[in-house]
Structure 1
């Protein structure tokens, strides 16, 4: 019997590794979202998760790899929520730009404001982190393509290779504005309720003709 197939306490080794990895990621989210990226260490994650530090390295090469994994989880959830919001939006016909835009912006507001830890990591910590910075640029590029497709009745999950450069630049401009606006609301720099925040963002998006 191999080590991976060996069973202890009714669970195979692979299950235990996966369970420990999940707990480490949850601890990373908590610490990065409360203490910040710079304040998140292997020792701190081990203590937060209740897992011995030696087990950290069976899942991650170092703290930077964990930090990237936490960020990637948030980015994946943002993409999934955006696509799901479009599919669930009532009357979100391809040409209904307002409904499609509101669905995505509301989903992003909910993700980052309902769990401030995710908002802090994605919108605030990532800006100054040398670890997360390059990944932020990748995600901005991906979301610009999604936004361009969303507002032009295209498929938001498809590649944006054929999207005009003017459209992509405008989308990147808008995405940056949304991130700063959500960050300001998250930190309390601007006191605004969720509905009003989404209303303002939608109107700003619609004021820019992304379909030209």
Structure 2
């Protein structure tokens, strides 16, 4: 898992062979196949671990946040972005390689998006603004926007400062969810 964490982040999933994984991990191909059915299964396990850890961090931040929509948005966005960017490998796997892997992570990615959408819905359910469109669709939209902000941070020649990414993420969420 440790070798995949680094290699799947860079040079990336497509460029990482079983042989390279096993060499980096100092295990035999046979030992690899005793644990995983293939590179795809390993990527899925790695992605799911990153998602589970992220969900736990955000859920904790939301629990500890002030009981206002604004407080929850700021706490949740900050927690997610700081956690995702604290290790460049995590950010790349969760936001770049998940898309580059093709159909390998389609189900895992959709499960992750659904879990984060539920967090957004639950965190904002106590504060329904008048005339708000379908909260589920708004949650999906703001999650997509946050993913694009993180992809920009990953790929930009001069990445924006983390505080700026957080500020913009909060702005998008607040405007979309009707926070003050």
TM-score normalised by structure 2 residue count: 0.88
Q: CA RMSD in A?
A: 2.0
Supply the distance in 1 between the matched residues of 2:170 and 2:55 (Cα, whole angstroms).
18
Q: What residue ranges of structure 2 are gaps of 5+ in the alignment?
A: none
> Is the partner of 2:134 in helix, strand or coil?
helix
Q: What residue ranges of structure 1 are gaps of 5+ in the alignment?
A: 1-24, 155-163
Supply the distance in 2 between the matched residues of 1:31 and 1:153 (Cα, whole angstroms).
42
Supply the distance in 1 between the matched residues of 2:88 and 2:170 (Cα, whole angstroms).
22
Aligned 8 A contact 1:106 1:198 in 2: yes
**Structure whose residues are more often helix by fraction:** 2
Supply the distance in 2 between the matched residues of 1:131 and 1:101 (Cα, whole angstroms).
31
Q: Which protein shows a greater Rg?
A: 1
**Count of aligned residue pairs for this structure pair:** 174
Q: What's the offset of the Cα at 1:41?
A: 2.1
Q: What's the offset of the Cα at 1:40?
A: 2.1
**Does 183-192 or 140-149 show the bigger shift?**
183-192
| 1:52 aligned to which of 14, 24, 28 | 28
* Equivalent residue, structure 2, for 1:206: 174
Supply the distance in 1 between the matched residues of 2:14 and 2:25 (Cα, whole angstroms).
18
Q: What's the offset of the Cα at 1:210?
A: 5.7
* Equivalent residue, structure 2, for 1:173: 141
Aligned 8 A contact 2:62 2:75 in 1: yes
| 1:122 aligned to which of 65, 69, 94 | 94
- The structure showing larger relative contact order (alpha-carbon pairs under 8 Å, at least 6 residues apart) is 2
Q: Does 1:112 align with 2:80?
A: no
Aligned 8 A contact 1:148 1:210 in 2: no
Q: What's the offset of the Cα at 1:103?
A: 1.2
After TM superposition, which residue ranges in structure 1, 4 or more long, deviate above 4 angstroms?
none
